[in-house]
């Protein structure tokens, strides 16, 4: 999971700070290396990203 730190545009979408995407999901070819060097993105550990995306549901205890 990758989190956008600085807004940028691709042909299909305008990305803003806090947006997330999976590695390889977005084609950043022209500016990938320069953007990564400039700190445009931060990598989020997959386990944390999944936990944030899917909060735990309370268990159903209707016995």
Highest mean pLDDT among 4-13, 14-23, 25-34, 35-44: 14-23
pLDDT at 58 over 50: yes
The count of other CB atoms within 10 Å of the CB of residue 26 is 18
Q: What is the pTM of this model?
A: 0.41
**HSE, side-chain direction, 13 A CA sphere, residue 17:** 3
Average pLDDT over residues 14-31: 72
Contacts 24+ apart (CB under 8 A), 38-42: 38/6, 39/5, 39/6, 40/4, 40/5, 40/6, 40/8, 41/2, 41/3, 41/4, 41/5, 42/2, 42/3, 42/5
% residues pLDDT > 70 (the chain): 35
Q: What is the pLDDT of residue 48?
A: 47
């Amino acid at each position: 999971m990758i989190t956008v730190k600085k807004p940028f545009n691709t042909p299909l979408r305008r990305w803003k700070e806090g947006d997330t995407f999976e590695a390889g999901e977005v084609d950043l070819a022209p500016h990938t290396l320069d953007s990564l060097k400039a700190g445009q993105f931060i990598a989020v550990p997959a386990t944390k990203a999944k936990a944030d995306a899917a909060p735990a549901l309370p268990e159903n205890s209707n016995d």
